[in-house]
Structure formats: C-alpha cells, structure tokens
Amino acid sequence: MTEPYDRSRWQRDEGEDASETDAATRQAALEPDELDDARENVFDGWPSSEDVSAYARRPGERPAVLEDTQIEPAPEPFATPPEQEGVAAEPSAPPGEQAGEQAREQAAERGEGEVEEADEEGPPLDAVEEAEPVALVDPDAASHEHAPGELEVPPGFNVLEGAPDGTRRAVGVVVSRFNGEITSRLLESALEQLERSGVARSAITVMPVPGAFELPIGAMALARTRRFACIVALGCVVRGDTPHFDYVAGEAASGLQLAALETGVPVAFGVLTLDRASQAESRIGKGAEAVRTALEMADLFSHLRAAAAR
C-alpha cells in the first residue's frame, strides 16, 4: 500500500541529499594545492598559551615569538616622568609659590612693581567669624501644623451652627486611669470648662475606666442611657518600644467614633497620643477643648431637631 504523502519528510530528505551533493561538489572542485592550503592551520605562528604564561611570569623577558611585537610595560603607579637627556629635573615648587611667581611675571610684563607676596598663613583665627547657632524647633512647643483663621460662610445661605452652651444639659465624662498623672490634669481642665460653660455639677457624671482601650465601650454605655446630651472621652497613650501604642491609640479613636455613630450622641475625642510624656505639658488644654467640641455638637443637634420639626 502506498504510504501517505508527507511533505515535511520529503523536504527533510531532499535537504539532506542536497547538502551531501553540495559538499561533494565543493570537495571535488578544490584543487590539491588549495586543499592543502585550506587544511593549513590558520593559527600557525601565533604565541601559544605557554608562551603567554611565560611572558606574564617574567615581565622583563619576552619569548622569541613576540620579538617583533613592541610591547611597553605598564607604568608603575605614581611613577615620576623620566628625565630628558642633558636636562636635570627641577623640584616642583608648592602651588602657592607657583601662583606668586606667575603673578610677579605678569606684573613685570605690564611694567608694574613687584607684587606683594600673599600671606600663606591665612587670616588669624580671631578674625574668623563664628557661625550663629541655628535655633532648633522645640518639640514641646505649640504645633504649627494647623492653619489659623476662622471659617467664613458666604451670606445668603441657611446656616445651622451650635455654640458651647451647657445650660440645661447633662454631660458624661469617661476618663482613663492609666497615665493618671496626665489624665487627672485633663479631667481638671475639662471640669473647669464645663463649669464656665454653664453645666451644673449635678448634671456631670464622671466614669473612670482602666485605660484608653476601654474608653469606647464606656462612652457607648453612657450614650445608650439617653441621659446625656454629649460624652467627653479623656485619656493618654504614650509611645513605647513596642507596637502597643499603635493598637491602643488606633482602636480608641475608631471605637469612640463608632460609639457616636451608633448612638447618635456626640462623643468628643480628648485622648492625648504622645511620643513621650513631656509633651503632655503643653496639651493639657485638650480636656477643655474636648468639652467645647462636645457641647457645640450637642447644641447643633438641638437646633437641627428644632429645624426639622418646623
């Protein structure tokens, strides 16, 4: 039976036959002399690897194969230039003397007098002005990261705005006992602000909790009683050598926000997040600031409910 037509096999067979035919043709076409020339080693006369190794081992000697090649040895590092025949090498003058000699030659060409030699010793140490010390930024100073100024709303719009008024309002204060030296002062600042804002002592409830991590659940518990117009959360977290700071500070912030969102009661963030305890001195006023924020939001919500009822 006839085998199926295989074009690739045919091309392969044809190619092998053609390559063998071409090789035989070229072999026959070469004359005997040309064949000998073709077989001649084209590398005859080149230095062998042994000759090159011998030359590398003896820089001052060269094998016979390299006699016709002019190879200059590499200059030694920092080598002085060779002296010219009949000319003695003069010692080079220092750069300062060379500059002075050039200046005198130029002055002589212009017809001027001798140029005074520059004082090589330089100005006296007393004449050098000392640089003024650069004032370093005090890390405990007031922050410069906030832009000053008040919000300006263009006229012609309905504006709902609250004021830090504590009249006839009850306020809950949740405060952390951890870092008590700092949180006690934060609480004192907050209570003074509540009194200035018109909140009666009988309308203030203070609830201490173990630490800043417990502030959110304490704030949510106070808000769910529906007895307080606003909640003030006070605490302090100081950075240490472990990631404890990041977890506690972050969870305290997000938890307090969640308490406000779920209950609808304003919760003011009065938690200090410090790199070191000494930074608290200039930030004790954050307690009073948190009180003003909470009272303003409570008053704003009161206006909003009244506007919605109309």
What Rg, from alpha-carbon coordinates, does the chain have? 48
The hierarchical CATH code for the domain 175-309 is 3.40.50.960
Q: Which of 144, 146, 244, 303 is catalytic?
A: 244
Identify the CA nearest to 291 among candidates 231, 227, 214. Answer: 231
Chain segment 206-260, per-residue pLDDT in tens: 999 999 999 999 999 999 999 999 999 999 999 988 888 889 999 999 999 999 9
For residue 67, pLDDT beyond 90: no
For residue 270, pLDDT beyond 70: yes
CA 21 to each of CA 8, 9, 30, 66, 130: distance values in angstroms, whole numbers, following the listed order:
20, 18, 15, 45, 94
Domain parsing of the chain, residue ranges:
175-309
Chain segment 71-81, per-residue pLDDT in tens: 555 555 555 55
Q: What is the pTM of this model?
A: 0.54
Alpha helices in the chain (DSSP H): 7-29, 32-39, 49-57, 95-110, 180-196, 215-224, 244-263, 286-309
Other Cβ atoms less than 10 A from the Cβ of 275: the count is 11
Other Cβ atoms less than 10 A from the Cβ of 87: the count is 7
Torsions phi, psi for 204 (to 5 deg): -110, 130
303: annotated active-site residue? no
Q: What's the confidence (pLDDT) of residue 134?
A: 44
Rounded CA separation 236/180 (Å):
9
Residue 177 has which token pair? 């006992």
